[in-house]
Amino acid sequence: MKIALIGQPNSGKSTIFNAVAGYKSVTSNLPGTTVEYMESRVRLNGAVYDLVDFPGTYSLSSTNEAEAEVGKYLLSQKFDLIINIIDASQLGRSLPLTLELIDLGIPMIVALNMMDEASRKGIEIEVDALSELLNMPVQTTVASKNLGVRDLFVNAKHVIEEGKKSIPGSIPCQKDVEEIICELEYEIKQNFAPKVVYPSRFLAIKLLEDDEYYQSILSHQNGHMLSDKVRVLQNKLVQLRGKPQDSVLVLERHAMAMDIYGKVVKIGHPHSDWREKLDHIVMHRMGGYFILITILLSFFYIIFEFGALLEGYLLTGFENLQQSLSGVLDQNSIWFYLVQSIVWGISGGIAIVLPYLVPFLIGLTILEDAGYLPRVAFLMDSFMHRIGLHGTSIIPAVLGYGCNVPAVMATRILPSRRDKIIAAVISSMIPCSARSVVIFGLVAFYLGPFWAFAIYLFNIVVISLTGKVLSWLMPEVSPGMILEIPPYRWPSSRVIFRKTWFRIKEFIMVAWPILILGSVVLGMLEYFQLDKLINQGLSPLTALLGLPAVVGTTLIFGVLRKELALIMLTQALGTTQILTVLSTNQVLVFTIFITFYIPCVATMAVLSRELNRSWMILVVMITLILAILFSFMFRVFGHLIL
């Protein structure tokens, strides 16, 4: 039994998914974060379901890549049930999608989520009347508090058991428009019925909307004879409503939605909304930037203070452990090398990575879920225009500070291919949490937080210039920002905890084993003295950058995971007292190189998937050149500023 969770961005799909499937899908208070389809097998009320969390979509048209995918996926797989999740506080805006889904001929129920938000806004919904009008069960929920979710799935079970009987009937448009749709539907049925898998009414509407994807399917089937008919009917529609053909039906659905809305909603008294007032400051054209900078600075300092405190304590502890180890094992035996490198790997994870990663991820989760990022997009729109993009592109970029992989995927929210390419390249150059660990653990810890901050700023300057150059090479007018600004929501501690844990688990389960394994490989290379070979091979590079030859191997391993470079640095140098073997200038040069050079393998993979292989290779080349250039620059001029 397959169930699809579908709804507009930010309606709480992932929250409902996670409530029943365990935390697997990243939730956040901004559009476009679920870009992959999360599927999970769940056992509920004695039945087993395959639950799929879809990316949020405003409609089933092919306006951008993410939305086009939803329609295709939904229709190509056989779903037994659609759970349409609606943000109750945005009912009017959400119903058009519901009306589209109804035409797919799949059993459906509605989850009316965010009931708490709705009542805060003074919106009262007559649930039974809504259910009656839509011909399907409607269940109210507050997913973030896990209310109503159980009942939702009890309902789901009933509906699935009823099977075909529970397919909701289409809701007709106004008579004049309905006649046009029926005429085209009839035409499709007559000529294409056996060949198209799509429900004919749905297809008729999409053709009338000029939807490229559905047009292309039919033209494969020799549908040219249809296109004349479509054109004639479109002209009729335009005459009837006086709106351009590409949006007339979309707006018609909105009118129908508002009609339903009017019938089931009573607006009472909204509770005083401090959030409106908050936006007056947060999005103010002067104060807004002040707040943005304050938030970023305090974010930065809290992570640093917290992380450095722990790193200091933990490193001394592990240093002692390393020393006592040499008392137990013979320093030249392979066992010593093996045990020692395992200890390096483990201690690196605990002492260097986690102290920064945990507060970093908690902070990022709060920023994401509170709904601050779309405000950042608003504030940064003018700046982004200067580098040839628009405000929306800042969202993937900011997500990049967590991890480049979801950041590159989030570029799907951009409708233009060119914007997507530039944003993806930029996002892969943002210092992700792994690179931040290197910046914090090395530069901030040994050189002071000011220098770490300077690296972030320098990175932003470089990224802006890269964006500028790319948009100069691809001159095309960016369509401009159209972005919904969601209300602020204070994320519940449960959500913060689970989301942070989800991301830390990723580090513990995936990255840490790689770190330990990497340490062991390095230990063995050292034992068999193979590291000398690699270091020798890389000596032109290390010599150019003025770094000791032993760091050569760490640069290679850094491509796997950026944290690896830091942990292996201590291992290769044989001490955690970095400053006894490296000068401050060398620390800076090393970090600059690690921050800029080649994105990690996971990012390379997602770049070739989202853009293509040539772009991926280009990014690798560009970043490598930039890294060498900048670190050489710092080597030569670093002493002037340090």
Ligand X SMILES: Nc1nc2c(ncn2[C@@H]2O[C@H](COP(=O)(O)OP(=O)(O)O)[C@@H](O)[C@H]2O)c(=O)[nH]1
Positions touching ligand X (CB under 6 A) are: 7, 9-15, 27-29, 34, 56, 113-114, 116-117, 142-144, 369, 489, 491, 495
Q: Which does 258 bind (CB under 5 to 8 A by kind): ligand X, another protein, Mg ion, none?
A: another protein
State which of residues 201, 206, 390, 420 lies at the interface with another protein (CB under 8 A): 390
Q: How far is the CB of 169 from another protein (least distance, A)?
A: 24
Window 31-70: contact mask with Mg ion (x via CB under 5 A): ---x------------------------------------
- Please identify, using beta-carbon distances, which residue of 34 and 392 lies nearer to Mg ion: 34
Q: How far is the CB of 135 from ligand X (least distance, A)?
A: 24
- Please identify, using beta-carbon distances, which residue of 114 and 452 lies nearer to ligand X: 114
Ramachandran region, residue 482 (left: φ > 0; alpha: ψ -120 to 50; beta: rest):
beta
Pairing of strands 81-87, 2-7: parallel
State which of residues 220, 262, 285, 330 lies at the interface with another protein (CB under 8 A): 285
User: Burial level of 129, CB count in 10 A (0-12/13-18/19+)?
Assistant: middle
Between CA 463 and CA 485 the distance in angstroms is: 25
Name 110's bridge partners.
Answer: 84, 138
Q: Which does 251 bind (CB under 5 to 8 A by kind): ligand X, another protein, Mg ion, none?
A: another protein
Window 569-608: contact mask with another protein (x via CB under 8 A): ----------------------------------------
Q: Which does 449 bind (CB under 5 to 8 A by kind): ligand X, another protein, Mg ion, none?
A: none
- Please identify, using beta-carbon distances, which residue of 185 and 369 lies nearer to ligand X: 369
Q: How far is the CB of 99 from another protein (least distance, A)?
A: 13
Q: Walk across the sheet containing 81-87 and list its strands.
A: 38-44, 47-53, 2-7, 81-87, 108-113, 138-140
Q: How far is CA 190 from the centre of its chain?
A: 44
Under 8 Å between Cβ of 591 and 551: no
Q: Which does 2 bind (CB under 5 to 8 A by kind): ligand X, another protein, Mg ion, none?
A: none
Stretch of 133-141, 221-229, 246-254, 510-518 contacting another protein, by CB under 8 A: 246-254
Tokens standing for residue 222: 């020799």
| Binding status of residue 283 toward another protein by CB under 8 A | yes
Stretch of 35-43, 150-158, 373-381, 444-452 contacting another protein, by CB under 8 A: 373-381
Provide the Cα torsion 315, 320, 323, 327; round to 10°.
Answer: -150
Q: In Å, how far are 42, 108, 176, 268 from 261, measured between CA atoms? A: 34, 19, 22, 14
| Binding status of residue 144 toward Mg ion by CB under 5 A | no
| Binding status of residue 369 toward another protein by CB under 8 A | no
Q: How far is the CB of 246 from another protein (least distance, A)?
A: 4
Q: How far is the CB of 34 from Mg ion (least distance, A)?
A: 3
Q: How far is the CB of 206 from another protein (least distance, A)?
A: 12
Count the Cβ atoms, other than its own, within 10 Å of residue 101: 23
Q: Which does 9 bind (CB under 5 to 8 A by kind): another protein, ligand X, Mg ion, none?
A: ligand X
- Please identify, using beta-carbon distances, which residue of 254 and 489 lies nearer to ligand X: 489
| Binding status of residue 119 toward another protein by CB under 8 A | no
Under 8 Å between Cβ of 520 and 338: yes
Q: How far is the CB of 145 from ligand X (least distance, A)?
A: 7
Between CA 115 and CA 432 the distance in angstroms is: 36
Q: How far is the CB of 68 from another protein (least distance, A)?
A: 12
| Binding status of residue 246 toward another protein by CB under 8 A | yes
Count the Cβ atoms, other than its own, within 10 Å of residue 249: 25
The alpha helices in 34-123, defined as continuous H runs, are 65-76, 91-102, 115-120
Q: How far is the CB of 495 from Mg ion (least distance, A)?
A: 12
Between CA 341 and CA 516 the distance in angstroms is: 7
DSSP track, 211-268: -HHHHHHHHHTTTHHHHHHHHHHHHHHHHHH-S-HHHHHHHHHHHHHHHHHHHHEEE-
Under 8 Å between Cβ of 340 and 523: yes
- Please identify, using beta-carbon distances, which residue of 351 and 379 lies nearer to another protein: 379
CA end-to-end span of the chain: 64
Tokens standing for residue 613: 């292989």
Between CA 279 and CA 56 the distance in angstroms is: 24
Q: How far is the CB of 488 from another protein (least distance, A)?
A: 11
- Please identify, using beta-carbon distances, which residue of 152 and 594 lies nearer to ligand X: 152
Q: Which of 160, 137, 135, 165 is nearest to 2 (CA)?
A: 160
Q: Which residue type does 363 have?
A: G
Q: Which residue type does 181 have?
A: I
The site for Mg ion (CB under 5 A) is made up of: 14, 34
The site for another protein (CB under 8 A) is made up of: 58-59, 61, 63-64, 89-90, 92-93, 96, 121, 210, 242-244, 246-247, 250-251, 254, 257-258, 279, 283, 285, 374, 377-379, 381-382, 385, 390-391, 415-416, 477, 479-485
